[in-house]
Amino acid sequence: MKKKILIFTIMLLCVFCIPFATYGCNWFKDMGDSGNQNSENTENSENPDNEGNADKPNPDGNNGTNDAESGDNANNADNNNAADNDKNEGEHEENKDDGKENYNGGNNGSDTNNAPAKIRQYTVYTENASGARINGVTVKLKKDGKDVASKVATAGYAQFGVAEDDYELCFKNLPEGYYADPSYTATKLPKDGSAVHAKFKTKVIDEPLTSAKNYKQGDIIHNFSFTDADGTTVELKEILKTHKLVLLNFWYDGCMYCEQELPAIESAYRNYKNDVFVISVSNRDSNSNVKRYKTQHGCTFFMAADRENIVSGSFVKVYPTNAIIDNCGIIRFIDYGSRPQQSFWESKFAELISNSN
């Protein structure tokens, strides 16, 4: 009987204890699994080579931490980009300022793409009123009052290869007797690159020569004066106020070739005396002898002795010698030897008168 009661008691205990025992085992198992997962997540978050976990939800909340860190990294990237942009903008502004300061004969280029300005070839011819080329003139290009380029005209011109722009022209070192008149001389370069003919006004150089020099065709002559046997004085710069040309004729008594051309000069002079003034001088004769010679040959133009020999010495290489000066003081023609044809002198007078101012 007791044995039956013991067996029955054991059975009741099993019925009640087995479910609690099963639940307890499962609880300990779940606790162990949870700990293992947390450990694995921690290792994954610390391992930079473990990719893909950021996309998987973490049941324990670790994904929120990763999102926060990603947000911090994004903010840092934005801040760094903003700082770099500010730096780049500052450098861009400095470059723009440098571009304004670094002027090299024109604009540095387009404001939008910094393309280089177009290079133009400019040619500036330096000429006198008659169109003859002048060498040795310094031609300067200016922009906003500053020198951009400078060249000396050789062969009567200067060339520049500079950026296309509006330039002002400035001229220095003009030969004696030349001057730049803004109303007469080109003062700007055309933007299209076409050539410029810069013409310079001239005038008789006021100071007379103190010693002979070697005049050449195209030179500007110095002022001079002569007085004849009757006391009449002529001065070059005063004559050119009323006449377009002055013919200087150099001769001496006893020169056969000089005597041969006098009638031709006299005839041409009578036809052109409103425009041409003739000054005939001898550096070998006195004024009294010149007066006699003039009367003997029937000459009506001015004749006198060149006592100082300065003017004759600046021209004469042979006898006769003739030189023609225009009303700008330019020696337009020098000729050595006799010209006994009236037609020669008339054609020469007509040619030079038509080209004079």
Domain boundary among 201, 233, 263: 201
Q: 342 and 229 share a domain?
A: yes
Distance CA 348, CA 341 (A): 11
Query: Is the model's pTM score more than 0.95?
Result: no
Q: 252 and 293 share a domain?
A: yes
- State pLDDT tens for residues 246-282: 999 999 999 999 999 999 999 999 999 999 999 999 9
Q: 184 and 145 share a domain?
A: yes
Region 231-236 average pLDDT: 98
The mean pLDDT of the chain is 79
In a domain, 290, yes or no: yes
Q: 232 and 269 share a domain?
A: yes
In a domain, 76, yes or no: no
Q: 179 and 231 share a domain?
A: no
- State pLDDT tens for residues 14-43: 555 555 555 555 544 555 554 444 444 444
Domain count, the chain: 2
In a domain, 11, yes or no: no
Q: 230 and 349 share a domain?
A: yes
In a domain, 39, yes or no: no
Q: 332 and 278 share a domain?
A: yes
Distance CA 293, CA 216 (A): 29
Q: 253 and 177 share a domain?
A: no
Give the count of alpha carbons within 13 A of 273, CB side only: 11
Stretch among 185-199, 222-236, 309-323, 325-339 having the lowest mean pLDDT:
185-199
Full residue range of the structural domain in which residue 166 is found: 119-201
In a domain, 87, yes or no: no
Q: Environment class of residue 234 by beta-carbon count within 10 Å: exposed (0-12), middle (13-18) or buried (19+)?
A: middle
| Residue 194 scores a pLDDT above 60 | yes
In a domain, 175, yes or no: yes
Q: 165 and 231 share a domain?
A: no
| Cα pseudo-dihedral 249, 250, 255, 256, rounded to 10 | -20
In a domain, 52, yes or no: no
Residue 245 sits in a domain whose CATH number is 3.40.30.10
Domain boundary among 201, 235, 252: 201
Q: 273 and 319 share a domain?
A: yes
Residue 163 sits in a domain whose CATH number is 2.60.40.10
Q: 240 and 348 share a domain?
A: yes
Q: 246 and 165 share a domain?
A: no
Please, which pLDDT band fits residue 335 given cuts at 50, 70 and 90?
Answer: very high
pLDDT at 146: 93
Closest by CA position to 283, among listed 310, 302, 260: 310
Distance CA 135, CA 210 (A): 25
Strands of the sheet containing 157-163, edge to edge, are: 157-163, 119-128, 196-202, 178-179
In a domain, 301, yes or no: yes
| Residue 325 scores a pLDDT above 70 | yes
